[in-house]
């Protein structure tokens, strides 16, 4: 900007504008950008710039709330976010090709990567291993809580109860009742 600043002549407005910007940078420059942090060699070395604001995080949270509002249809999301597992925020990374490439190579390999994580978790947690050993062949293990905010809590307890599951399975196996038509 100093090189572009006209020294004299009819460009007085441009000169004054550049002077304002340069004065502002001289006074406030150290607070306008992120902070430079020098990393030790054991952490990879080099210099990293840290954002001065949390605008990126706030923007991400705004998009996450927007998606949850569209899904649930509710304005107040307090209970939804209290019940949301922490991994839900990480799922947004799967939309970034560079993240997926680092994680598993490509989207084609993503199911295998998740299957490997599930297998490791079952191996490390005996309770999960026992629960999946009792499952019938072909059944999918249900070791994660279902998170849905589309029903009130009281209704969710009823819908997710074992008794309701048995009723649904019994109804699915039964034959439809015959409808008798009145003569006439």
User: Between 156 and 112, where is the model more confident?
Assistant: 112
Q: What percentage of residues in the chain have a pLDDT greater than 70? A: 82
**Quick one: DSSP state of residue 137?**
T
Higher-confidence residue of 115 and 9: namely 115
Work out the pLDDT band at 148, boundaries 50, 70, 90.
very low
pLDDT band at 23 (very low <50, low <70, confident <90, very high): very high
- Are 112 and 100 within 8 A, CB to CB? no
Alpha-carbon gap, residue 23 to 96, rounded angstroms: 40
Domain ranges of the chain: 1-31, 74-133+146-172
Residues 6 or more apart whose Cβ sits within 8 Å of residue 176: none
Which of the two residues, 179 and 7, has the higher pLDDT score? 7
Q: What is the pLDDT of residues 55-103, one digit of tens each?
A: 888 999 999 999 999 988 999 998 888 888 888 888 888 888 898 888 8
Rounded mean pLDDT of the chain? 79
Cα separation, 100 vs 106, whole angstroms:
6
- Cα dist. 138→66, 78, 127, 141, 180 in Å? 37, 37, 19, 9, 39
Residues sharing a CB contact under 8 Å with residue 51, sequence separation 6 or more, in sequence order = 34
């Amino acid at each position: 900007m100093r090189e572009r600043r006209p020294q004299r002549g009819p460009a007085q407005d441009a000169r004054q504008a550049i002077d304002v910007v340069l004065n502002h940078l001289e006074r406030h420059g150290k607070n306008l950008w992120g902070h430079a942090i020098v990393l030790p060699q054991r952490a990879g070395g080099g210099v990293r710039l840290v954002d001065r604001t949390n605008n990126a995080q706030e923007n991400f949270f705004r998009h996450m709330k927007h998606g949850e509002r569209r899904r649930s249809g509710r304005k107040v999301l307090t209970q939804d976010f209290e019940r949301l597992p922490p991994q839900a925020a990480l799922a947004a990374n799967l939309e970034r090709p560079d993240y997926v490439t680092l994680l598993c190579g490509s989207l084609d390999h993503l199911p295998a990567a998740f299957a490997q994580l599930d297998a490791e978790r079952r191996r490390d947690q005996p309770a999960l291993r026992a629960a999946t050993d009792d499952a019938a062949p072909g059944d999918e293990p249900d070791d994660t809580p279902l998170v849905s905010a589309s029903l009130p809590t009281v209704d969710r307890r009823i819908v997710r109860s074992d008794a309701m599951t048995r009723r649904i399975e019994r109804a699915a196996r039964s034959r439809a009742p015959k409808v008798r038509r009145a003569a006439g």
